[in-house]
């Protein structure tokens, strides 16, 4: 296809599929058949999915699994996880079971403050701008009352608005830096609506401020948008137990294990190359729960990684120590989540996932998500500091290899039996199956 196609968005779904099949595939009929194969059999549900995004042609499925036995603040929960990577759900489940007999997970929501900014250019005397803001601040609140009324009834709203001078970074650059409480909604639409009204108020009131010159009245709003960096929307998850109680089948010497574990975390705290992979493992657990509950994992990823670099160097999100014979492992992570609005009331499986979690508040969901991240990190570090990460991961990946090779049930049985006592590798599995077929 070497030429642009005009009016694609106006085509029907069938027309879009047929055009794509003819333009890009050597066997158009097979492409059409595959796309339609993944449509939902219920037309109402399929229509719902079609309207989530634009130019929908089919559904792209990701498995939804569950990790049971999470003891969190004295209560057992089963956590839904939507992810395509082998071993993530199994690892989280094993970590949950491990800690369920050692006091479980403890969680605390530290703060739930969210942030939005109006970015603008002002050319003039900064002292005049500061006086203008001080005299006008109340009008920003007043002008958004029609937007904030319902949120205030739920206990949320605008917390504060600050004028920030950023002229050391860009000439004439300033911000209105606003903080918000959005309760059980993620709050993006609410925050952005407030910010756009702030921008209108800023431009209107600046025209009426007598101390401003004509140049100073010409405030240029560049953009008004929420931030996905939420360093004051933090949840803490932690586990701890006497070092001796860490002993199990794979941990014969708990003191040696605890020391190696803490050292592994310390390496991630000081070595960015390790920290990125370390935190990626945490995000395996976090993202899986966020996707299952209909939240925005891209926003969370961006905010979490910015938080991990807040000191000026990218570092571990989790921390560990041994103190007075007690092993402790914890993380604090920024999570701006919602349990109302967006997909939470639309996607059937999102609603199911939230019901599985007993319809949590946004704060409660933050705790589930943080626990999943900590559990995943513990499982990965336990493997790395004992048997190595590949042994368990490759055995969990075995199903994918067998599916790629289109192995029969009998072949699969023999492969699993053989590799129960041998190192799993792609080439090893391929050779074994080929020998079976000879």
Active site residues: 85, 280, 296, 393
Q: Is 437 exposed, middle or buried (0-12, 13-18, 19+ CB in 10 A)?
A: exposed
Edge-to-edge order in the sheet of strand 106-109: 106-109, 234-242, 326-334, 318-323
Phi, psi of 267 (to 5 degrees): -60, -45
Cα of 336 vs its chain's centroid, Å: 9
Task: Give the Cα separation of 96 and 83 in Å (integer).
Answer: 18
185 beta partners: 340
According to DSSP, residue 339 is labeled S
DSSP characters for 54-105?
A: SS--S-----EEEEEEEEETTEEEEEEEE--STTHHHHHHHHHHHHHTTT-B
Residues 174, 117 contacting (CB under 8 angstroms): no
226 vs 178: CA distance, rounded Å: 9
Chain centroid to Cα 384, Å, comes to 24
What DSSP assignment string belongs to 177-238?
Answer: EEEEE-TTB--HHHHHHHHHHHHHHHHHHHHH-TTS-HHHH--EEEEEEEES--TTSEEEEE
Measure the N-to-C terminal CA separation of the chain; round to a whole number of Å: 43
């Amino acid at each position: 296809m070497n030429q642009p196609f005009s009016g694609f968005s106006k085509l029907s779904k069938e027309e879009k599929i047929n055009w794509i099949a003819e333009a890009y595939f050597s066997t158009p009929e097979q492409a059409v058949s595959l796309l339609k194969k993944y449509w939902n059999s219920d037309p109402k549900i399929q229509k719902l999915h079609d309207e989530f995004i634009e130019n929908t042609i089919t559904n792209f499925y990701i498995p939804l699994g569950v990790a049971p036995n999470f003891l969190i603040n004295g209560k057992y929960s089963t956590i839904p996880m939507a992810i395509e990577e082998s071993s993530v759900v199994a690892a989280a489940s094993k970590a949950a079971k491990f800690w369920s007999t050692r006091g479980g997970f403890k969680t605390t929501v530290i703060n739930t403050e969210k942030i939005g900014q109006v970015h603008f250019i002002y050319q003039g005397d900064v002292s005049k701008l500061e006086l203008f803001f001080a005299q006008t601040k109340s009008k920003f609140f007043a002008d958004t009352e029609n937007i904030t009324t319902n949120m205030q009834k739920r206990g949320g709203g605008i917390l504060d608005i600050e004028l920030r001078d950023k002229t050391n970074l860009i000439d004439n650059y300033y911000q209105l830096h606003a903080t918000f409480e959005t309760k059980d909604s993620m709050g993006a639409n609410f925050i952005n609506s407030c910010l756009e009204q702030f921008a209108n108020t800023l431009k209107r009131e600046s025209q009426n401020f007598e101390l401003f010159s004509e140049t100073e009245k010409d405030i240029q709003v560049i953009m008004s948008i929420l931030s996905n960096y939420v360093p004051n929307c933090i949840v803490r998850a932690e586990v701890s137990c006497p070092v001796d109680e860490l002993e199990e089948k794979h941990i014969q010497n708990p003191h040696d294990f605890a020391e190696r574990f803490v050292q592994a975390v310390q390496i991630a705290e000081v070595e960015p190359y390790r920290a990125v992979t370390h935190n990626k493992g945490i995000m395996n657990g976090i993202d899986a729960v966020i996707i299952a509950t209909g939240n925005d994992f891209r926003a969370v990823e961006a905010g979490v990684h910015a938080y991990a670099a807040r000191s000026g160097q990218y570092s571990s999100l989790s921390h560990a120590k041994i103190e007075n014979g007690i092993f402790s492992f914890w993380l604090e992570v920024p999570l701006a989540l919602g349990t109302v609005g967006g997909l939470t009331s639309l996607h059937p499986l999102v609603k199911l996932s939230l019901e599985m979690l007993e319809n949590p508040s946004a704060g409660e969901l933050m705790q589930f998500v943080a626990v999943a991240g900590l559990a995943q990190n513990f499982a990965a570090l336990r493997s790395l500091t004992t048997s190595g990460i590949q042994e368990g991961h490759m055995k969990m990946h075995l199903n994918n290899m067998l599916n790629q090779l289109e192995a029969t049930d009998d072949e699969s049985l023999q492969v699993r039996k053989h590799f129960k006592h041998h190192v799993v590798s792609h080439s090893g599995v391929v050779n074994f199956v080929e020998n079976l077929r000879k």
